[in-house]
Amino acid sequence: MPFHAKNRLLSAVLATAGTAALGLGTAAPAQAVSDPLNYVALGDSYSAGSGVLPLDPDASLLCARTTRNYPNLLAARTGANFTDVTCGGAQTKHFTAAQYPGAAPQFDALRSDTDLVTLTIGGNDNNTFVSAILACGSLGLLTAGQGSPCKDTYGSTFSDDIADKTYPAIRTALNQIRAKSPKAEIAILGYPWIVPEQSVPGCFLKMPVAKGDVPYLHQMQTDLNAAVEKAAAETGVTFVDMAEASKGHDACRPIGTRWIEPLLFGTNVVPVHPNAAGEAAMADRAAAVLGLGVG
């Protein structure tokens, strides 16, 4: 973590703790007072919280951004000067090019005095998530959930795209963020599990993926998260691993346990995305890794 960003993050935690102490009638130490963090949230639908209500009135409707996404929750922990430009469907190219009318290039929000940047990105590059889920779901329906038709049809196509195209795009984007905001702590989150390692009873009704393709999709997501982690390590960026935390909270689980809503019979406006509990879990994990443990 850059020295400047580390001190600003620590000061923000102390300031928030001091505010809480004042509420209990205990004077906060003078050194706990700090300027708020300048926090910019970038990224795709997993950062925008697409599918969770209420919608952010300041965002394009096409972004389907909520005020309950993990960046908003993180900002509330520190009282940060917060700019949220996350947008559903964003790819790495939308960091430098407009995505929709009213959704300018996300890098426009970065400044030289930005202290903290968070993001999720990569899942939409090459339409990886969309193509894999739709392809495997369609083939799963055709085989009534038997076999591994998606793996048999597409083989290593999705993972090859991640290695050959998505990974270098993420690495380039992270280097660009560092160039635009050299003092900032940058944290990129991995994606919570969409499906478990193996098929579980009853999941086909919610996620119509053939039994043999559940581990295939899980491995594809493993490869994507590994690409994100590798790009982070090579650019000096903090990686927030969601793999262990989200185990057992995938879209196959019941309401109240799952963090990702399924393709069918889910509760989100947008399926196969984090629900409110998932966004809160992402906020908790990011806060723990960044040392923003004040709730």
| Residues acting as catalytic residues | 45, 273
CA-based max dimension of the chain: 67
Distance (Å, whole) CA 125 – CA 148: 24
Q: Measure CA of the first residue to CA of the last residue in the chain; give whole Å.
A: 22
Q: Are 178 and 188 in contact (CB under 8 A)?
A: no
Closest CA to 263 of 212, 221, 207, 194: 207
Residue ranges of alpha helices (H) inside 109-248 are 128-142, 149-154, 157-161, 167-180, 214-235, 243-246
Please tell me the distance from the alpha carbon of residue 191 to that of residue 240, in angstroms, as a whole number: 9
Q: What amino acid is encoded at 295 in this protein? A: G
Q: Which two tokens stand for residue 249?
A: 């909270």
Backbone angles phi, psi at 187, to 5 degrees: -130, 120
Could you list the beta-strand ranges (E) of the chain. Answer: 38-41, 81-84, 116-119, 185-189, 238-240
Q: 283 with 245: CB under 8 angstroms?
A: no
Give the tokens for residue 205. 């009704």
d(CA 246, CA 169): 25
What amino acid occupies position 168? P
